[in-house]
Each structure stands twice: as structure tokens, then as C-alpha cells.
Structure 1
Amino acid sequence: MILPADIREWRNLNVLDSGNHKIGVLESIYVDTTTDEPAMATIRTGLPTRHRLTFVPLDDVTLGPDYVKVPYAKALVKKAPTVGMDDILPAEAEKAIFQHYEMSYQTGAGGERQLARR
């Protein structure tokens, strides 16, 4: 289980893929609004003048001394939905992130979002 107190320390750590290739740097954490548990992270990717935030699920991550390793290939993560550095995740874009990683997506009973940034 990922403890919320721990994930605050992950910010700016390198994010590695399943083959130990660097994908980018961890920027922020999104929690599942139903459980308030960490569910997704955004990774700062791209060129220094054109950074984007790419989404990746936090299931089965491995934490090292200076990295967070995700169980996905770099190519898959790089093709995931992104937002700009100063943008917020639009509610209508959430479903695409879950579909990209072949995960089920379900809004709350009243249509609430599934993800919230922490």
C-alpha cells in the first residue's frame, strides 16, 4: 500500500520504466476520489522548453533511493494522455487515461470525477 505521507517525498524523483529506462521526473500525484488512495502520477516529460505532464498509474510501483519504477514500458507511457505544465486535467479527459492503460473507469454515483490532484 502506498502511504500518502510517503508520496510527498517522491516529487522530483526520476521515474523509470519496467526496463529501467528513464521516462521523466515525477511531478504530482492524483488520488482516487472514492478511496482517497494514490492512483496516478504525472511525469514531467519532453524538452526543457516544451515540458508536458504525462499520466501513469501507480499500481505496483517500486521505490528506490532516487527513483520510482513503474511496471509499464517507456513507449506506452510516452503515448499516454498529457496536459500542459500549467493545465489541469479536464473531467472529460479522465476516461482516456484509464482506457490507455486498459483500466476500468467509473465516475461516482453523482457523476463525480475519479481522480483528484493532491
Structure 2
Amino acid sequence: MQTDIDPRNLIGRKAFDRNGTKIGTIDEVYLDDATGVPEWAAIRTGLFSRDAFVPLEPSELVEGSLHIPFDRALIKDAPDFGVGRHLSPEQELQLYHHYGLDVAPPLPPPDRDFGNIAGQETPEDNGPRPTHPHP
């Protein structure tokens, strides 16, 4: 996906599946903790429906709408972790497996001789965090 777009500008945009069928509206965007790059979006699938998490890579922003290269049924069947909360590494792994996407290799454990480097995130800190529409 385009990485130069402000993730807050994605919120409220329409989302469509691989066949051009409308799925819903983007409710939240989740950023990678380490890079700050938008990684997941939560799509509100209806007025009283739950949110479906979708990967922003390999999705595309086309003419102001998010086009997700998966079928609507697969998207609607994605694990729902509730919006507004941090996605844990385990939840993110479930989403990668659900969509059949390659998972980024885990960070190697810290070197026991040197300990943890100051400022290095611990595994429980890793995982996408939601952005909010208002700064």
C-alpha cells in the first residue's frame, strides 16, 4: 500500500473486496510499533456488525477507496479483537495466518552476554497499535 498517506486520512473511507463488492468503512488503522507504518485496518462491516481486520499490505488505495485483494467471505470471517486496543503479537500472527500471508521473522533474542540494549522493545511491546482520527 502507499506508505506516504496519513493513516488518519484512511478512517472513514470505503473498503471493497477483490471483486469490487463493498465491505464497509474503515474504522481504525493500526501502525507497526517499530516502523510506524500502517499495517492493519479495522473495517466496520455494517451498522450493527463487528469490525473485520484487513491487511493494508497488499491492499491498495484507489480513487479514495481501499481495495483489499481477498474475498468478502474471508474478510468477514477474520478474527475480531475489538477496535481501539493494541494488537498483540499473537493476535497479529492469527491475522497473518487467516489471510495466508507470510509472517515477518521474529526478532532474535537479545545476546545473553550483553543483555538487552537500552531502548529496545520487548516482545510484548511489539504489535500494531491503533491510530485515532483526532490527534
Deviations 1:38-59 (A, max 9, x none): 111000014x2x3311100001
Query: Structure 2: 5+ residue runs without aligned partners?
Result: 110-121
**Does 1:102 find its partner at 2:100?**
yes
- 1:115 match: 128
Greater shift, 37-46 or 105-114, is seen at 105-114
Structure with greater strand percent? 1
Task: Number of aligned residue pairs: give it.
Answer: 114
Q: Which runs of 4+ in 1 moved over 3 A?
A: 105-109
Counterpart selection for 1:59 from 45, 57, 60 = 57
Secondary structure in structure 1 of the residue aligned to 2:74: helix
Query: Once superposed, what is the RMSD of the aligned Cα atoms?
Result: 2.2
Secondary structure in structure 2 of the residue aligned to 1:83: coil
Distance (Å, rounded) in 1 between the aligned partners of 2:82 and 2:31: 19
TM-score (norm 2): 0.71
TM-score (norm 1): 0.79
Query: Structure 1: 5+ residue runs without aligned partners?
Result: none
What letter matches 2:59 in structure 1? Answer: V
% same residue: 27
